[in-house]
Amino acid sequence: MITTKLVTLDDLEQIKQFIKDAQAHLKEQGSRQWQNGYPNEEIILKDIAEKRGYFLCATGEPVAYFCLDFAGDALYETLQGEWLTQGTPYAALHRVAMGAGSRGKGYGTAIFQQAEKLSRQARMTSIRIDTNPANQKMQHLIKKNGFQYCGTVVIDATDYLAFEKLL
């Protein structure tokens, strides 16, 4: 059974391990994404404090971490392109990090499904996400889950691909 759990300070070490696993996986793919110390402990602590950090759990055990922010993201106001929605509440999905032993089991899609469920419960009209152009696996997952390309946002002097899905 797949569920989500809002993370707490007690979960910090597990979250850091998922982030470390994801950083190593990205590096193996030749991506520079997340290779500069992002996301760091300060960011994760803020996710916890603002109640926007979640575990994806399979049979009660955490298998991945993600941030789902119902306050949106100021970065998305700088989109070079056009969002599907304007002026309506949306969720921003960030920091998707899977444990090393959890890849290839459908948990990526499960994260998107759970993010949609949580976003609908919070009365959001859409979900937005961005990813590094080199992250082919995430791009595939985003498109597979029905997101539409909307343009680019600049992060650390790199144009990140931005997507949105209507709920």
Confirm whether pTM is higher than 0.85: yes
Place of tokens 């055990």: 61
Q: pLDDT tens digit string along 27-84?
A: 998 888 899 889 999 999 999 999 999 999 999 999 999 999 999 999 999 999 999 9
Rg (CA), the chain: 15
Are residues 63 and 142 in contact, defined by beta-carbon separation less than 8 angstroms? no
Least Cα distance to 132 among 163, 106, 109 occurs for 163
Q: For residue 21, is pLDDT > 90?
A: yes
Q: pLDDT tens digit string along 98-156?
A: 999 999 999 999 999 999 999 999 999 999 999 999 999 999 999 999 999 999 999 98
Are residues 108 and 143 in contact, defined by beta-carbon separation less than 8 angstroms? no
Task: Give the pLDDT mean for 78-92.
Answer: 97
Q: How far apart are CA 42 and CA 15, in angstroms?
A: 12
Rounded alpha-carbon distances, angstroms, from residue 135 to 114, 138, 141, 157: 22, 6, 10, 16
pLDDT at 43: 97
pLDDT at 157: 87
CATH architecture of 2-166: 3-Layer(aba) Sandwich (3.40)
Q: Where are the domains of the chain?
A: 2-166
